[in-house]
Structure 1
Amino acid sequence: MKFHIVFACLLVHVVAFNFEEGDNSTVRGCSSHCSYQDSTLECWNKTLDFFEKVLLGQMRHYIAVQINIDQWHRRNDKHYVTNFSRVIDEANSTLQKYVNDADVLSRSVVYDVARTLIQRVANVSTGQISWIPHYSCPLPCEHFYSVWRNLFIVSVVLNIALALVVIPFAKRMARREPDESLMN
């Protein structure tokens, strides 16, 4: 009975992830197989819809983390002075490191995005807030390998249990067989 409960909990844990937080098998809408030769824009539109959702989600997470950093300073640094123009400059310099000259993003666009996001942080984090903005890490940052390790361990245990049940049964069946040969 305990085994069934543990197995059910493990199964619920595995199924409960989504593409933003764990299981990549639930990714829907993104396709790297869209082509200019496609007869309709359906593939491109689904892929665009996917990236629009991901973009908004990641901007939301970025703002949430910046708010949490500001809130940490407000609670733990007695000499903290809010200076969001400095935060804008730091965010811009960090993001500019990832922009190539031949990129589809220009440096001015990256600056405008960084400025806009940090301005939203400044609007939300005006003092100590009682709620904590939620964020979640995507798969590449924190891949849940422990699920696969646990499934491997369960598989090994089940195989050993199966062997412990089948081997005595096979021996018992072999003893019951007469020692007669099949051919006379």
Structure 2
Amino acid sequence: MIIDNLESVKFRAAQRADLNFIAELESAPENAVFIQPWSIQKHELSLSNPDIRYFIIEAVPDDSPVGYIILAGLCSPHDSLELTRIVISRKGGGYGTAAFRLLKKWAFENVSANRLWLDVKTHNERAIYLYKKMGFTLEGTLRDCIKSGDTYESLHIMSLLRSEYD
């Protein structure tokens, strides 16, 4: 299923066959430092959960996979979607920006979300820059909320409201 085509990317619903691509992308050293990689089993459970949606981000026009998105909250009575994860394999090519434009369009026009939110590690400066560029507002910081080895990491909570999208 193709959602839409915008600029240089399009989305399609992820399938079980895509989980190896997703797991490899998560475990790549340049990505793993910014996320907490999941096991294939956790992805399989999430993929079958009606509250969660996986998209594979494909480059236009060759349909090659350049990343993935995981959204949660599709069953939320509060019309609040959580961008659980976005990982881009070809960094610096504009795919992240294009994927965010398409994601915002899908969330606010197709799903009628009122709020799109995410958390991001406070040291992930590249992602924070992109999120701000895409109109997300910093709501607050969860200090030392993730244990990573012997250290703790903090998360920023950021969101975009429908009224800010319009």
Q: Normalized against structure 1, the TM-score is what?
A: 0.24
- Higher helix proportion: 1
- Higher strand proportion: 2
Higher RCO (C-alpha under 8 Å, 6+ residues apart): 1
Larger Rg computed on CA atoms? 1
